[in-house]
Structure 1
Amino acid sequence: MSLHTPATNRLLPLTGAVATALLLSACGSMMSSPKTMYSQDSLPDSIKVPAGHKVAMETVGVGEITYECRDKANAPGQTEWVFAGPNAALNDRSGKQVGKYYGPPATWESMDGSKITGTQLAVAPAGTGNIPYQLVKANPAMGMGAMTGVTYIQRVALKGGVAPMAACSPANKGERQIVKYQADYIFWKAA
């Protein structure tokens, strides 16, 4: 005995269509909801961007930092791992690559060809095993595009990137080690 009568058989496709429309409507409203505003509230004061600036772009840098075993400055006969340069993809929040970060000098380059360098203003500890938070004052952009008008870059949400644990001694001076890291790079422009 079937529970479906001719009338209910006609309603089933309609019910499915209504459910699909409601689901798509709900998904559409989630996608069009206003994006969460970036907040500096939990950051150390030393790396906060001054008032009068707004977030222009948020990226996630995923890559590596190269360190080189070199003589320690002002300490004859001693060696240490020294930051030699970064190499990272800059992705938007959805994971699509929108630029790259490399150096020296530290350079943030958009896929549109515009790029900036900058001067470090401040760093602050970001937890054991992580490179520090950083605030950089941007130099004027080279080329027109996404980097045009950027005034500050913040490095936040850090994972890894500290100097290697391997020995650095006069015996392996000049050796290079690569360390993986991830960090959010927040680009600011004047409001």
Structure 2
Amino acid sequence: MKLARRLILTTTAIAAVTAGTLISATAGQATPTSKPAGANTKAAATPKIPDSLKVPDGHRLTGVFNAKGVQTYTCTDGAWKLLEPAATLSDKKDGSHRPIALHSRGPVWVSTVDGSAVNAAVVATSPKSGTIPELLLESTGTRGTGVFADVSYIQRLKTSGGVAPTTACTGSDQTSVPYSAVYTFYKPAK
């Protein structure tokens, strides 16, 4: 029953995000080598990155995408705890916004263009007032040969919203809070 409710919640959240207006996005490379599938390399500059979230040397920027979605929280022992994110990452190509990936629990990012995927774990956080923290994540595994193949690090930057409610909760209540962010993807430099 809980799995069915979670699947319905995630599907509903992703459908709501997809039906809404997607934020414009850019993609680019710090050292141009080859254009990754689905990435727009006519990029704007990446957001300012706190020192604690900088990617180690030896990795190159391969994609920068804007995300819009929700952070879903569930009531656990009377307090709101993060259950999962649900977001759509998009890019801007030929003047239109197109979905590039879906982001969900894991955390995982799955390309809607080529099916490639990356899972990651948080290695550093940078708190921001009034919004969810910015993050540095390290890949724990990838699959496929597309845009997310061989991704080594991910940054969540320019966060807005998504903060858990401060109100009390009871039982198995759940709530979804809208958020937006910029996700940057890095691969080992060759």
- Asked if TM exceeds 0.5, the reply is yes
Residue equivalent to 1:184: 182
Gaps of 5+ in 2: 1-40
- For 1:84 and 1:140, how far apart are their aligned partners in 2? 21
Which position in structure 2 is the counterpart of 1:122?
Answer: 124
Shift of 1:34: 5.8
Within 5 Å, which residues of 2 pair with 1:35-184? 35-38=43-46, 42-71=48-77, 79-93=78-92, 95-103=97-105, 105-111=106-112, 112-126=114-128, 128-168=129-169, 172-184=170-182
Aligned counterparts of 1:157 and 1:38: Cα–Cα separation in 2: 10
1:120 CA drift (Å):
0.9
- Helix, strand or coil for the counterpart of 1:92? strand
Taking a change above 3 Å as real, the CA distance of residues 144 and 84 of structure 1, as seen in their structure-2 partners, is: same
Residue-pair matches, total: 145
> Of the two, which has the highest radius of gyration?
1
State the identity %: 34
| Higher helix fraction (1 or 2) | 1
1:28 maps to which residue? none
In structure 2, give the amino acid aligned to 1:116.
V
Offset, 1:83: 0.2
Give the RMSD, CA atoms, in angstroms: 1.7
Counterpart amino acid of 1:57? G
In the aligned structure 2, how far is the partner of 1:93 from the partner of 1:49?
A: 25
Using the size of structure 1 for normalisation, the TM-score is: 0.71
Query: How many angstroms does 1:51 deviate by?
Result: 1.4
1:165 CA displacement: 3.0
Inter-partner Cα distance in structure 1 for 2:182 and 2:61: 13
With normalisation by structure 2, the TM-score equals 0.71
Contact 1:58 1:93 in 2 (8 A): no
Q: What is the distance in 1 between the residues matched to 2:131 and 2:75?
A: 19
- Give the match's secondary structure for 2:122: strand
Which runs of at least 4 in structure 1 moved beyond 3 Å after TM superposition?
33-37
Distance in 1 separating the partners of 2:160 and 2:45: 22
**For each residue in 1:67-126, what CA deviation from the matched residue of structure 2 results, as whole angstroms up to 9, or x when unmatched?**
01102xxxxxxx3110000110011145321111011x2110111111111111011112
1:31-85 deviation per Cα after TM superposition (whole angstroms, max 9, x unaligned): xx9633436xx322211111121111111110111101102xxxxxxx3110000
In structure 1, the gaps of 5 or more residues are 1-32, 72-78
* Amino acid in the other structure paired with 1:173: G
Bigger strand share: 2
